[in-house]
Structure 1
Amino acid sequence: MGVTTIQPTTLFDPEDLKIAFSNKTDEELKLAHFLFRMMGKPTLVKLGGIATVWALKLGLPIKGLVKNTIYRHFCGGETAQQAQLAIRRMAKAKVYTVLDYAAEAKEDEDGFDYVLDEIMRNIRLAKVTGEIPYISVKLTGIGSRDIFQKLQEGELLTAEETAAFQRTENRLDLICKAAFEANITVYIDAEESWLQQAMDELAEKMMLRYNEHRAVVFNTLQMYRTDRIAYLTDLLKRSEGYDVVLGIKIVRGAYIEKEQERAAEYGYPSPVFSIKADTDHSFDKAIDICLQNLHRVELCAATHNEASTRYLVNQINRRGVADHRKCIYFSQLYGMSDNLTYNLASAGFNASKYLPYGDVATTLPYMIRRAEENTSIAGQMGRELSLLEAEMKRRGL
């Protein structure tokens, strides 16, 4: 890619509160402030999550409370159609949607087929409305965790398991083919390290099949893993000579405690960095590698980290990447880091929100996971709270 002198017309300023919270009513702002204040207390989050799950299982009448608080803030609705209200609100601010069916799937063939049908409906909706450019796919939603783990551990599959894994691949192929035909993008989520190898292989197979002219399929790399820079470098080397645009989505990672605990339990070296600075360095190094290969890579930086976001913006400007909207994407979770997403969009960058949806009861594990993850991110809750309080003060609330 040639270097030009074209720059974005507007500077990215994550401190611009008016733009950051332009989509929030006063009531929504107060709710966000309340939720982030609660999420700043990890013990309360953990106990509250356990209590809420049990209350719903016992049929206690708390669904309305959940729906009007944490669910309302972090989810788009119970159906993709309900989520369209949030999709359209964001679109007015030039923020795109990554639609994410967040319900926990039943781990059997019927459950996997149900998730497949839901995703295929979303692709048809995206094609008809033109409002959903990206969808998210979790491979354990369409295939067996146990089989992914057996493959990683080098165990031979039974004939039945081999057939089941082929059905998983077929489901993913149906999704990617439909996305290709609908001119939308598929982000394949990363999962625990002991499942990931076969998932990487499936993602690579789909990229080779559908990414000839653009990145229809993105694989996700969790940069808190100590081996991901090596994996990225190797993937680039292995794909040389192929007519393929690699779709690379980088995240920091969501299972750090689980990864460390399992490594200690089974006596193998932890696959994740123990020092946050090492993860930060790994994330930014992945940015550099992708930017050096933009002639055959599209990059999605999915992060709430302001420093890495600024770093990528600065690199785009310094390198003069004129057509960055076609090959570089930013993304954050719905309900978080609005100061990044909305100010990126306002400054002319390709910014999106991961928008989960699904029935309240079945998406609850997803929401609790999000809350627990966020309480463990150093400084994240304090940053969110300070921005919300500054905006409330600006509005005179």
Structure 2
Amino acid sequence: MERAAILKLKARYFNPKNLQVTFSSKRDNELRLAHWMFRMMGKPAWAKAGGLATRWALRLGLPIQPLIRNTVYKHFCGGETAQEAQQVIAKLRASRVHTVLDYAAGSQKTEAGFDAVKEEILHNIQLARDTAAFSYISLKLTGIGHKAIFRKMQEAGVLLQEEKQALARTEARLDAICKAVAEAGLTLYVDAEESWLQDPIDAMVERMMLRYNHQRAVVFNTLQMYRTDRLAYLQDCLERFKKEPVIPGFKIVRGAYLAKEQLRAKELGYPSPVFTSKSDTDHSYNQAIDICLENLDRIELCAATHNEFSTCYLARRIRKECTKQQRQRVHFAQLYGMSDNLTFNLADAGYHVSKYLPYGKVATAVPYLLRRAEENTAITGQMGREIQLLEQEMQRRKH
């Protein structure tokens, strides 16, 4: 179903506990596979050992790719190519769920690698234009530009001439992607990176917003709300953009690099840039929702979260307070293979919701999959909730 058709659906009461809607597209064997995987992921020691073993097996060329492809890869990825992912996209679309197509290439290190990622993204934009099957593209700037240059800029270092030229090529790649996205009527979500890379990335994304976000939010920047400075950054953005003819796009997430951020801060002896307690992160996230809702007349919001409270809180406020025009400016998103009770029940209730759908070769997607496993074993209660819902559905189907 096209975006315009979905938006005509009036937002209704959202019930994340409706199992029939949650699992309507899942076969019994898919439920059993998901149950097994989440049980494994729910054991941090097993998940860590499995990740280490997987990395070594791939480096040694051991024949484990078929096992990965038929288990964790199948559950969390759309396929090895964008064309292969079309089957999953069509399945999601049948449930009124949009797709954010995410090329799981990871960070690149060479100019050839950066150019290859850019060409793949441009190919996906053309595919979206040709098929009208999906409307959203995800991009990591470390996929099209050097991490070391972003880090040097963050530290206020002076770039060498060749580094300045490399940075210009990075921005040109991003501009080409944003231009193609704008012309195709699509939306680009630029992912957040580690805190020691983020400032120059924020600045580059803001320049793209000023260039392309005139009639709508073509480009979204991602804010990791576990960072202690993101509320201030959000408010500063809103103030700086107030007099600009631009509609900023903000995607808010809780954050993906918690342990890495805390460890680096401890090792280098600087204050941790992330909250130490989950409750502080939750409060920051929900405050960001409030700020964005107060400014819906001039921004667009994507709330990318697996947190049920935040999702219910935002859905309730949309239903009670937002006009039809304002509702069109709010999006929800979850990862493919996770929190289906949120995604499919949001769609069923008439809200605008997407799944982040990664795709790529098994070997190159493994780092993405392992990061997903490590993140979710660290989220209090996440695995338990997934397992509980699956067990309830399997029990329900027996009767």
Q: CA deviation at 1:106?
A: 3.4
Alpha-carbon separation, structure 2, partners of 1:8 and 1:17 = 21
Written as runs of structure 1 = structure 2, the 5 A alignment for 1:8-23 is: 8=10, 10-23=12-25
CA contact (8 A) 1:303 1:331 kept: yes
Aligned residue for 1:293? 295
Aligned residue for 2:4? none
Residues 15-60 of structure 1: CA distance to partner in whole angstroms, max 9, x if unpaired?
0000001121111111000100111100110110110111111111
1:49 aligns with 2:51: yes
CA contact (8 A) 1:300 1:331 kept: yes
* Cα RMSD (Å): 1.2
Alpha-carbon separation, structure 2, partners of 1:224 and 1:29 = 32
Alpha-carbon separation, structure 2, partners of 1:324 and 1:279 = 26
Aligned residue for 1:210? 212
Alpha-carbon separation, structure 2, partners of 1:334 and 1:324 = 26
Q: CA deviation at 1:320?
A: 3.2
Alpha-carbon separation, structure 2, partners of 1:315 and 1:288 = 9
Aligned residue for 2:157? 155
Aligned amino acid, residue 98 of structure 2: Y
Q: CA deviation at 1:315?
A: 1.2
Residues 240-292 of structure 1: CA distance to partner in whole angstroms, max 9, x if unpaired?
11110010000000001100111111111100000110100000000000000
Residues 283-324 of structure 1: CA distance to partner in whole angstroms, max 9, x if unpaired?
000000000001111000000000000010111123133234
Alpha-carbon separation, structure 1, partners of 2:201 and 2:322 = 34
Written as runs of structure 1 = structure 2, the 5 A alignment for 1:182-331 is: 182-331=184-333
Written as runs of structure 1 = structure 2, the 5 A alignment for 1:59-78 is: 59-78=61-80
CA contact (8 A) 2:249 2:300 kept: yes
Residues 311-355 of structure 1: CA distance to partner in whole angstroms, max 9, x if unpaired?
101111231332344200000000000000000000000010000
Question: 1:371 is paired with a residue of what secondary structure?
Answer: helix
CA contact (8 A) 2:297 2:326 kept: no
Question: 1:98 is paired with a residue of what secondary structure?
Answer: strand
Question: 1:82 is paired with a residue of what secondary structure?
Answer: coil
Gaps of 5+ in 1: 1-5
Aligned residue for 2:105? 103
Q: CA deviation at 1:9?
A: 5.0
Question: 1:355 is paired with a residue of what secondary structure?
Answer: strand
Question: 1:191 is paired with a residue of what secondary structure?
Answer: coil
Aligned residue for 2:145? 143
Q: Which deviates more, 371-380 or 312-321?
A: 312-321
Q: CA deviation at 1:7?
A: 9.9
Runs of 4+ in 1 over 6 A off after TM superposition: none
Aligned amino acid, residue 359 of structure 1: K
Written as runs of structure 1 = structure 2, the 5 A alignment for 1:113-152 is: 113-152=115-154
Gaps of 5+ in 2: 1-7
Alpha-carbon separation, structure 2, partners of 1:325 and 1:130 = 22
Aligned residue for 2:168? 166
Q: CA deviation at 1:61?
A: 1.1
Percent of aligned pairs with the same residue? Answer: 61
Aligned amino acid, residue 371 of structure 2: R
CA contact (8 A) 2:109 2:146 kept: yes
Change (3 A) 1:325 1:121: farther
Match of 2:361 among 349, 359, 362: 359
Aligned amino acid, residue 94 of structure 2: K
Change (3 A) 1:325 1:132: farther
Aligned amino acid, residue 91 of structure 1: R
CA contact (8 A) 2:213 2:247 kept: yes
Alpha-carbon separation, structure 2, partners of 1:316 and 1:240 = 23
Alpha-carbon separation, structure 2, partners of 1:237 and 1:302 = 23
Match of 1:178 among 174, 177, 180: 180
**Aligned pairs, how many?**
392
Alpha-carbon separation, structure 2, partners of 1:261 and 1:175 = 34
Alpha-carbon separation, structure 1, partners of 2:296 and 2:325 = 10
Q: CA deviation at 1:8?
A: 3.7
1:348 aligns with 2:350: yes
CA contact (8 A) 1:149 1:194 kept: yes
CA contact (8 A) 2:299 2:329 kept: yes
Aligned residue for 1:39? 41
CA contact (8 A) 1:300 1:330 kept: yes
Q: CA deviation at 1:105?
A: 4.3
